[in-house]
Amino acid sequence: MNLVLLEPRERGGPLPAADVRTRHVLEVLRRGVGDRFDAGIVDGPRGVATISALDAAGLHFRFEPTVEPPPLAAITLIVATPRPATAKDVLRDATTLGVCAIHFVHAERCTPSYATASLWTAEAVGEQLRLGAAQAFDTRLPVVTWGRPLAAALAEVATNMPVVALDNYEATVALGALRPPAPITLAFGPERGWGPRDREQLRAAGATLAHLGSRVLRLETAVTAAVAIVAAGS
Amino acid sequence: MNLVLLEPRERGGPLPAADVRTRHVLEVLRRGVGDRFDAGIVDGPRGVATISALDAAGLHFRFEPTVEPPPLAAITLIVATPRPATAKDVLRDATTLGVCAIHFVHAERCTPSYATASLWTAEAVGEQLRLGAAQAFDTRLPVVTWGRPLAAALAEVATNMPVVALDNYEATVALGALRPPAPITLAFGPERGWGPRDREQLRAAGATLAHLGSRVLRLETAVTAAVAIVAAGS
């Protein structure tokens, strides 16, 4: 936790004593009354908080904003809903990397039970986003949606920007050779690959197919690799 | 486990009944006598194994090689020894990405206890490498060393290839702008950054400093991002 992220309504404090952030400030950072720690308002400024008191109500502080973080990268992800542990890693790491939106969608060969996991609540998703942003020293969180079919997410993004679908099987060009500039949507299929109906929908959305080489990567690794390649070229 | 990896001495089988690979073939892949599964010999050919019998001795099979995988990428990593859970992820993911060597070293601001963790045995390290290679459908494992000082690893690599040290603080060029071609060594400092003595040693080895942008990435994410950027340009 490089940055303690506060919701706008928490800006005036106090943070409850049992809150994970309070414990981080007191136990990991070992701060006390009068000490300062790096903090930020979700989707607002980054700054410094000074601890003014510690009591039964929790950690009282004064937040002083110092800088407004730059906007997120114009990189959108469409991800066929993976198993929850993988989805958590993707949420956290893609947020750390600074993408502006992540849409978890239903594709033809998705495992249906993954979409009904307990992860898919605003609270549980938000926790991963805040972890990812705090790691990056950023306050900005990507827009995240889940539960829609692939076609719905494609319809939303494809009018605004090109779509590149990562594909191990039919792509003939490497993402590193393509180096598509942002704004861009990168689409990642399920473990068992895109199905024929998915491919039709990707074609209808004008998507280009690209690969990340002949090695089969875990989804988390593929997302980080692809975002890094696009960000490096932008 | 996309590929069942066998040590050369295991090529004739059988695999013990309790072996994790036997259980994977029987319980996850649901194969039986007469069925086939993808297999490979560590640092040797990939091929297909046919199950000939299942008995108290374990899983008997006939392995037929089909293809010799290409050599690994000429990308070497030097990594300041991180906490063991992170080191495991780096071992696995960097192997999946196909680097040819990983040297875990002692840098100035490393936490000394990390280097004495139980992970640092040939067996425990090998397990992560086999997981990473099996994911990539490859049989080749990188060379891995641990426990040496940074200077020793730099002395070994710097006579053979350029070194780029990732640095959030003093680097003025982005790795994505540099796009150094392989063969290359990428060096990653500890959580608290390179120390002054580390920097002297990096300078003495002729290392270039490069960054991955202003966002602070977890080590695992930085390694994947940097390897992907270099591999994309090679």
User: What average pLDDT score do residues A59-81 get?
Assistant: 97
Picking from A96, A135, A232, the nearest residue to B229 by CB comes out as A232
Chain B residues within an 8 Å CB radius of A224: 221, 224-225, 228
Express each pLDDT in B20-32 by its tens digit.
Answer: 999 999 999 999 9
CA closest to A212 among chain B residues: B232
Q: What is the pLDDT of residue A1?
A: 80
Contact B17, B56 (CB under 8 A): yes
pLDDT for the residue numbered A59: 97
Name the one residue in this structure whose structure tokens are 């950690």: A59
CA distance A216 to A167: 10
**Which one of B2, B174, B225 has the shortest CB-CB distance to A224?**
B225
Is the pLDDT confidence value at B234 over 80? Answer: no
SS3 label, residue A54: strand
Strand order in the sheet with A208-210: A143-149, A99-106, A73-80, A184-188, A163-166, A208-210
Interface of A with B in 84-123 (CB under 8 A): 93, 96-98
- In this predicted structure, what is the pLDDT of residue A233? 82
Q: Which of B21, B75, B71 is nearest to B51 (CA)?
A: B21
| B96: closest CA of chain A, how far (Å) | 7
The stretch B123-134 carries a mean pLDDT of 96
Would you say the ipTM is above 0.90? Answer: yes
* Residue of B221, B223, B227, B234 best to disrupt the A interface, most CBs of A under 10 A: B221
Average pLDDT for B177-205: 95
CB contact under 8 A, A221 and B97: yes
Write down the CATH superfamily of domain B4-67.
Hypothetical PUA domain-like; domain 1 (2.40.240.20)
Q: What is the per-residue pLDDT across A34-62, written as a single tens digit (0 to 9) for each? A: 999 999 999 999 999 999 999 999 999 99
Contact B218 A96 (CB under 8 A): yes
pLDDT in tens, A213-225: 999 999 999 999 9
Percent of chain B with pLDDT over 70: 100
> A180-196: per-residue pLDDT in tens?
999 999 999 999 999 99
Q: Name, in order, each residue with C-beta under 8 angstroms of B70's C-beta and a sequence gap of 6 or more.
A: none
- Residue A233 and residue B135: Cβ atoms within 8 Å? no
Residue range A83-106: mean pLDDT, rounded: 98
Yes or no, beta carbons of A229 and B224 under 8 Å apart: no
**Which residues of chain B are in CATH 3.40.1280.10 domains?**
73-233
A77-90 burial code (b ≥16 CB/10 A, e <16): bbbbbbebebbbbb
Q: What is the pLDDT of residue A183?
A: 96
- On whether any CB of chain A is under 8 Å from the CB of B186, the answer is no
**CATH 2.40.240.20 intervals, chain A:** 4-67
Alpha-carbon distance A130 to A120, whole Å?
Answer: 15
Interface membership of A137 toward B (CB under 8 Å): yes
State how far the Cα of B189 lies from the Cα of B166, in Å rounded to an integer.
7
Q: Does B218 touch chain A (CB under 8 A)?
A: yes
The DSSP string of chain B is --SEEE-GGGTT-PBPTTSHHHHIIIIIS---TT-EEEEEETTS-EEEEEEEEEETTEEEEEEEEEE-PPPPEEEEEEEE---HHHHHHHHHHHHHHTEEEEEEEE-TT--GGGGGSTT-SHHHHHHHHHHHHHHTT-----EEEEEEEHHHHHHHHHTTS-EEEE-SSS--SBHHHH-PPSSEEEEE--TT---HHHHHHHHHTTPEEEB--SS---HHHHHHHHHHHHHHH-
Task: Give yes or no for B179 touching A (CB within 8 A).
Answer: yes
**With contacts defined as CB-CB under 8 Å, which chain A residues touch B96?**
215-218, 221
Confidence of residue B163 (pLDDT cuts 50, 70, 90): very high
How confident is the model over B90-114, as a mean pLDDT? 97
**Global pTM value:** 0.95
Computed over every residue of chain B, the mean pLDDT equals 96
CB contact under 8 A, B212 and A228: yes
pLDDT digits (tens, 9 = 90+) for A106-141: 999 999 999 999 999 999 999 999 999 999 999 999
Say whether the peptide bond before residue A69 is cis (omega within 30 degrees of 0): no
Whether residue B135 is predicted with pLDDT greater than 80 in this model: the reply is yes
Contact B142, B129 (CB under 8 A): yes
Q: Which residue has the higher pLDDT, A233 or B163?
A: B163
* Chain A residues lying within 8 Å of B97, measured CB to CB: 215, 217, 221, 225
Quick one: pLDDT at residue A169?
Answer: 87
Q: Which pLDDT value is given to residue B1?
A: 80
Q: Sort out which chain A residues have CB atoms less than 8 A from B98's CB and list them.
A: 213, 215
Task: Give A 141-170 residues with CB within 8 A of chain B.
Answer: none
DSSP string, B144-184: EEEEEEHHHHHHHHHTTS-EEEE-SSS--SBHHHH-PPSSE
A166-170, B173-177, B201-205: the lowest-pLDDT one: A166-170
Q: Which residues of A touch B217 (CB under 8 A)?
A: 96-97, 135-136
- Residues of chain B with pLDDT > 90: what percent? 95
Domain B73-233 sits in CATH at 3.40.1280.10
| B221 near A CB under 8 A | yes
The two tokens of residue B178 are: 């540099």
